[in-house]
Structure 1
Amino acid sequence: MPNNSLSFLWEYYVVCGVLPTRETVLISYERITFVKDLIGVQGKPQAEFICPGHPLLNAVIDLILERYRDLMKQGAVLIDKNDPNTDVRALFYLEHSIKDARTKASGEREVVSRRMQFVEMSEKGVAHTAGYAPYLDYEPINEEDRLLINNTLEADWLKTDLESAVVSYAVSELVPEHLKEVRKHKDEFILKAQVAVKDRLTKEITYWDHRAEELKAQEQAGKQPRMNWQKAQQRADELQRRLQKRMEELEQEKRLSPIPPNVIGGALIVPIGLLAKISGYEKPELKAARELLKDTARVELLAMETVMEAERKLGNEPKDVGNCYCY
């Protein structure tokens, strides 16, 4: 509930029997905030900062998905007020994961990268990536506008197996790129880790091997060293096993394999231009969309030219893939 003196501070009580089953979630939080500057306020208890990755937020998201995930599959109708065109598009949300060869206690393989990806499909069956968060540019449709597009919602192309087509596109276009990015990052990290681990443990193994020989020589000479040579040799052998195990683990981390993408939701995207065409009058948003389209194209061209020139100066050979719908 909102705190009276500071509208961005709340007291939060977890509903018993719901969230307490989630690990690390407290029964109650005296103060929580979504604003970092309000974590510490004079005269108030320190607030818990709720942000992506926080156990409470993770638990709430998990609970919402658990109860309402089916609604995402049912889909929604959204308006693109920045699009003056009249072509309806189908937007799909896909989840894609990459695993390595390591296994968890449950027997499942370790997920090293999970990515939410968005693909739009046109009426002509042309698919393209829709960016990282396309939904931020769309708005829910109201009842009045929804009545205008009833016939559009019954179009034959929307009744075809669009999901399979989108998954096929993702498998051929998005999955390889995702795998390539993860492999590049992992290979660089693993190579450094292998060098560091081998260097450190090899030095320790060499030390204890040498120490074992010294202690053995002392014992054979009739001396009584504080550590017997078998103990030192045991330490060297243990380090050798650790080195072998760690190197095997790193090799397992290198063996990456993609999991088939899974469609978890979708939406029908209706451009403002179509609503204007059906209704017979031009909405104010349509004029703004046309102007925005002109400005966006001009700004994108200037930005692309600037970036490509900078890349050339670095010795790279940039390529314009705008026509390939690669974002």
Structure 2
Amino acid sequence: MYLDHVVTDGRLVNGARQVVSRRFQYVEVDRCGTASDPGAEPYLGYESPTAEQESQLSGHLDAAWAGQTAELVARDWAIEHLAGPHFESVAAVVQNRVDRVSEAVRVRLESEIRYWDRRTNEIKAQEIAGGKPRLNSGRARARADELAARLLRRRAELESEADLHSSPPTVVAAAVVVPQGLLDQLAGAPPDPTAAADKAETDRRAVAAVMAAERALGRRPTEQEHANPGFDIMSVDPETGDHCFIEVKGHLPRTEEIHVSARQVRQAQNDPERWRLAVVSVPDEPNAKPQVRYLVEPFVGMTMHAAQTNVPLNVNKLLADAGPPS
């Protein structure tokens, strides 16, 4: 499900509070009612069913559990895991800004108020002495009072900006995700139960090999959560503090093509100096050592279609262009 969480402040325009921050979040709910965070763009791996697949699913898909109950579970999960942290992060930023602006306003206006208080007394003394200053003491006092009133108004405005309100998350859209294995089974091609295990083991060995390569370079790698959408490993140079973001693609000897998500391509293009594509050749022999190669700036100059969700890459050509870890 796709949820929307809005934080507003106390400023009113046409009777409505002003939106300070808005955050959208995906939440996955399984048929057992367990909610989880699928990552920033889980739909990149999804496809709409074909007419033939819809026909195959007819009568086999029990979507009753995905009704109101799933929506309530997703909203409750978002309140606990999305709304609170989002509100706290926004509140910290807003309060810091309001404090800085309030102090700057106080310093400036109180300085001007003191100036006109002093000028009022000086002009009043001249008037008592029989002088005729160009500005009379009444107008000088009025300016000091106006500045004091402006200071009060500005403080009230800033306090209203810091008066944040967290609205309950709302469900914007929802979809039922059907596993590819079910479609294969209905089509008469039951999935190979060893395929998922082989892929998981290949990925595990590939990530472990890249972690070892990073340590050999003197960096400190940290494996990211499986749902992290942009990269698998974040590695830090302890001397410079520089970060490297590494997406790991492990492949078996028979693998001809790997895929990189559109999000990963965009992240690599936005941060080309720090993003790496690690292509890891994993042997079939369980005790054999995988070979790690890096591609730096692999997507410079690449243009994707707006509807493109992933980029297919030929393994042999990647290996020809890749070099040792760096």
TM-score band w.r.t. shorter chain: 0.5 to 0.7
- Which of 98, 101, 114 is the aligned partner of 2:10? 101
Q: Deviations over 1:8-39 (max 9, x none)?
A: xxxxxxxxxxxxxxxxxxxxxxxxxxxxxxxx
Q: CA deviation at 1:161?
A: 2.0
Q: CA deviation at 1:266?
A: 0.8
In the TM superposition, 1:84-163 aligns within 5 A as: 92-104=1-13, 106-159=14-67, 161-163=69-71
What amino acid maps onto 1:304 in structure 2?
T
Query: Is 1:304 matched with 2:222?
Result: yes
- What is the CA–CA distance in structure 2 between the aligned matches of 1:183 and 1:246, rounded to whole Å? 19
What amino acid maps onto 2:9 in structure 1?
D
Moved more, 287-296 or 255-264: 287-296
Q: CA deviation at 1:230?
A: 1.3
SS in structure 1 at match of 2:181: helix
Q: Deviations over 1:121-157 (max 9, x none)?
A: 1111111123333223322211112222223433442
Moved more, 191-200 or 125-134: 125-134
Partner of residue 181, structure 2: 273
- What is the CA–CA distance in structure 1 between the aligned matches of 2:115 and 2:205, rounded to whole Å? 65
Q: CA deviation at 1:304?
A: 3.0
Are the aligned partners of 2:185 and 2:191 in contact in 1 as well (CA < 8 Å)? no
Query: Is 1:182 matched with 2:54?
Result: no
Cα RMSD after superposing both structures: 3.2
What amino acid maps onto 2:12 in structure 1?
T
- What is the CA–CA distance in structure 2 between the aligned matches of 1:254 and 1:296, rounded to whole Å? 47
Q: CA deviation at 1:290?
A: 6.8
What amino acid maps onto 1:255 in structure 2?
D
Q: How many residues align?
A: 220
Q: CA deviation at 1:291?
A: 4.2
In the TM superposition, 1:229-240 aligns within 5 A as: 229-240=137-148
- What is the CA–CA distance in structure 1 between the aligned matches of 2:182 and 2:201, rounded to whole Å? 16
Q: CA deviation at 1:288?
A: 10
Q: Deviations over 1:33-78 (max 9, x none)?
A: xxxxxxxxxxxxxxxxxxxxxxxxxxxxxxxxxxxxxxxxxxxxxx
- What is the CA–CA distance in structure 2 between the aligned matches of 1:153 and 1:231, rounded to whole Å? 81
Residues 95 and 267 of structure 1: is their aligned pair in 2 closer, same or farther, counting only changes over 3 Å?
same
- What is the CA–CA distance in structure 2 between the aligned matches of 1:95 and 1:169, rounded to whole Å? 13
Q: CA deviation at 1:203?
A: 1.0
- Which of 44, 51, 72 is the aligned partner of 1:164? 72
SS in structure 2 at match of 1:96: strand
Higher relative contact order (CA 8 A, sep 6+): 1
Q: CA deviation at 1:198?
A: 0.8
Q: CA deviation at 1:224?
A: 1.1
Q: CA deviation at 1:112?
A: 1.0
Q: Which runs of 5+ in 1 are unaligned?
A: 1-91, 315-327
TM norm structure 2: 0.59
Query: Is 1:173 matched with 2:81?
Result: yes
SS in structure 2 at match of 1:267: coil
- Which of 82, 106, 110 is the aligned partner of 1:198? 106
TM norm structure 1: 0.59
Structure whose CA Rg is larger: 2
Query: Is 1:223 matched with 2:131?
Result: yes
Are the aligned partners of 2:66 and 2:176 in contact in 1 as well (CA < 8 Å)? no
Between structures 1 and 2, the one with greater helix share: 1
- What is the CA–CA distance in structure 1 between the aligned matches of 2:115 and 2:200, rounded to whole Å? 69
Query: Is 1:243 matched with 2:151?
Result: yes
Residues 112 and 268 of structure 1: is their aligned pair in 2 closer, same or farther, counting only changes over 3 Å?
same
Residues 253 and 239 of structure 1: is their aligned pair in 2 closer, same or farther, counting only changes over 3 Å?
same
- What is the CA–CA distance in structure 1 between the aligned matches of 2:140 and 2:202, rounded to whole Å? 76
Partner of residue 18, structure 1: none
Q: CA deviation at 1:236?
A: 1.1
Partner of residue 213, structure 1: 121
Residues 257 and 201 of structure 1: is their aligned pair in 2 closer, same or farther, counting only changes over 3 Å?
same
